[in-house]
Amino acid sequence: MAPSEPIKLSSECPVLEIPSGVPSHLPAGSVVRIMQSLGGSYTIASRMGGMYRVDAKDAGALGLSASAAPEVAAPASQRGFSEESVWKQLKTIYDPEIPVNIVDLGLIYSCVSTRLGDDGYRIDVKMAMTAPGCGMANVLKAEVESKLAQIAEVRDVRVEIVFDPPWSQSRMSDAAKLQLGLDVDSGTDSSSLPIVK
């Protein structure tokens, strides 16, 4: 997505600083650009160079209505439990700096569902971040927990952030590499990805 035209915030807007994940507020009148709108949130950049994540519920400050909110999958609770529903739900979660979902980005190291007798399922997820010490880890972890908990029959979700093995571009799907303009056949591994500008 190309950055939007400059937008003047109509009201104070709660944000999460990227990449630190620190909650903050941008004052009314701040000028920003929308860098991406995926998975139920917006990534914006200010004229001062900061990047922030804005939840769809706060889109009014950007001058957008609820109907303009980024598309997300239909509520999982209406679809019933299946392995496919788990992976579809995970694909609705996007890295705030890279316009790729966390599955295709290769951040999900394992996802195991366990039947809890007649009482539903527990889902255990091990996931990584694109960089050690990423401040967005708890934000993405909470989003995984929240979205998986929406699936019918899921009673417990446990998400663990892991650092071994370290994430690398080699974990990305070919579709994600193509989307980001990376060489699919290359064995080149780099610890940094292009940031959407």
Instruction: Specify the CATH number of the domain 7-68.
Output: 2.30.30
| pLDDT for position 189 | 42
| pLDDT for position 162 | 95
CATH 2.30.30-classified regions of the chain: 7-68
pTM above 0.75, yes or no: yes
| pLDDT for position 77 | 47
72 Cβ contact partners less than 8 Å away, ≥ 6 residues apart:
39, 40, 92
Give me the CATH topology for the region 76-179.
Answer: GMP Synthetase; Chain A, domain 3 (3.30.300)
State the Rg of the chain over Cα.
17
Cis peptide leading into residue 165 (ω within 30°): yes
| Low-confidence stretches of the chain (pLDDT beneath 70) | 1-2, 66-80, 186-197
| pLDDT for position 170 | 92
SS3 state of residue 78 = helix
| pLDDT for position 196 | 35
| pLDDT for position 186 | 54
CATH 3.30.300.130-classified regions of the chain: 76-179
At 39-50, the pLDDT tens digits run 888 999 998 889
9 Cβ contact partners less than 8 Å away, ≥ 6 residues apart:
26, 27, 28, 29, 30, 31, 32, 61, 62
| pLDDT for position 69 | 53
